[in-house]
Copies of this chain bind each other. A is one copy, B any other.
């Protein structure tokens, strides 16, 4: 009875570890910390010396350890090598009482790390599609080889770990696909519209910069970033003969061009956005609205226009005026800002124009020269960093300039007005 009681108590302690691990699932949001905590718990409860979760890198077909407690270096080896490799390949649980007596054991890692492996317990980890995603490995149980109960507990724990790993991988997948989709759509537009190539990307960089100056949240900045990349996607549906016309557009042609705003919306509305990104089509389609209601496609006024749309409106016009086209230089920067200011309060939201003029000059030049950034001088950028667009306009208008101001103007204009083939 005394013995039974003891055994039962021991069993209870072990099962309690499962409870603790499961609770970590909820409280720990990042995968690495979670795995590390799971491994601590396993070492403690299986009385093991070391515990490793090997993840399968399907690109290289290697196993690698994300967290190897007590080992600093990343371990990485072919996914069919050693005991862990055997488990990854065959999905067998291996409980090996004497590692060096087992021909499947790969002693090379011990050689590298200086560790002496005695006994081993490995467990395959699967995802929901029943594919192997990794191997849970526990080394050197202190009281001798691993038991059946150890196996049972580790199995449960490795299910939990696998589920957490899969979750993290899926989040990663969702994000990677999404970003690659957006970039592809945006590049697709560029593939056609070589004249304005880079426009969407520059507008995005301006819009993100303003969003940061306005201290918008990461979530808000993300929406604005994607809406900017895609704001002109509707131009895909506008005939090139109108879109690329060199001469003055007729009224009718202008009406055709204007369709692109609505087209952007209808194309983007087909995309299944995650809930927090669902405003993107609306923002993208309002980049030609004006706060006095004279814009298109809907003639929205003031607060009816989403903030992102208002930011896009300013950036879109700024880029149109400052981008290089074939046979056309950039408009003078004072003239550009004057144009923006003239339409502030009618077309543009005053606070956004105000923030646009607060963009530091080093950033402004890097966006203006996007795609030609290799030859920007680091020292020049350092000097530009302390001034804004507002500053350079003031300097340009001054009759009497300090030496510092002359230097600033010289640096800015060196890039702003330099010529190269596009």
Listed in ascending order, the chain A residues whose CB lies under 8 Å from chain B are 1, 4-5, 8-9, 11-12, 15-16, 18-19, 22-23, 25-26, 29, 58-59, 126, 128-130, 152-153, 155-157, 159-160, 162-164, 166-168, 170-171, 173-174, 176-181, 183-185, 187-189, 191-192, 233-234, 236-237, 239-241, 263, 267-268, 270-275
Assess whether A163 is in contact with B167, with CB atoms less than 8 Å apart: yes
Which residues from chain B contact A241 at a C-beta distance below 8 Å? 240-241
Instruction: Count copies of this chain in the complex.
Output: 2
Tell whether A25 pairs with B163 under 8 Å between CB atoms, given A8-B9, A270-B187.
yes
| Nearest Cβ on chain B to A346's Cβ, whole angstroms | 32
Distance, CA A176 to CA B178, complexed state (A)? 11
Which residues from chain B contact A163 at a C-beta distance below 8 Å? 25, 160, 163-164, 167
Assess whether B159 is in contact with A25, with CB atoms less than 8 Å apart: yes
The 8 closest A-B pairs by CB, nearest first: A15-B15, A180-B272, A170-B170, A191-B237, A22-B156, A240-B240, A181-B181, A176-B272
Assess whether B25 is in contact with A184, with CB atoms less than 8 Å apart: no
Q: Which of B152, B184, B263 is the one whose CB lies under 8 Å from A270?
A: B184
Assess whether A184 is in contact with B271, with CB atoms less than 8 Å apart: yes
Closest B residue to A158 using CB positions: B26
Closest B residue to A16 using CB positions: B15
Which residues from chain B contact A4 at a C-beta distance below 8 Å? 5
Assess whether A12 is in contact with B18, with CB atoms less than 8 Å apart: no
Q: Which of B58, B157, B164, B184 is the one whose CB lies under 8 Å from A267?
A: B184
Assess whether B184 is in contact with A263, with CB atoms less than 8 Å apart: no
Distance, CA A241 to CA B126, complexed state (A)? 54
A sample of 4 more A-B contacts (CB under 8 A), given A184-B271, A192-B237, is A22-B22, A26-B159, A170-B170, A177-B271
Distance, CA A72 to CA B23, complexed state (A)? 32
Which residues from chain B contact A26 at a C-beta distance below 8 Å? 126, 155, 159, 162
Tell whether A12 pairs with B16 under 8 Å between CB atoms, given A25-B163, A173-B174, A272-B177.
no
Distance, CA A26 to CA B163, complexed state (A)? 9
Which residues from chain B contact A268 at a C-beta distance below 8 Å? 184
| Nearest Cβ on chain B to A93's Cβ, whole angstroms | 12
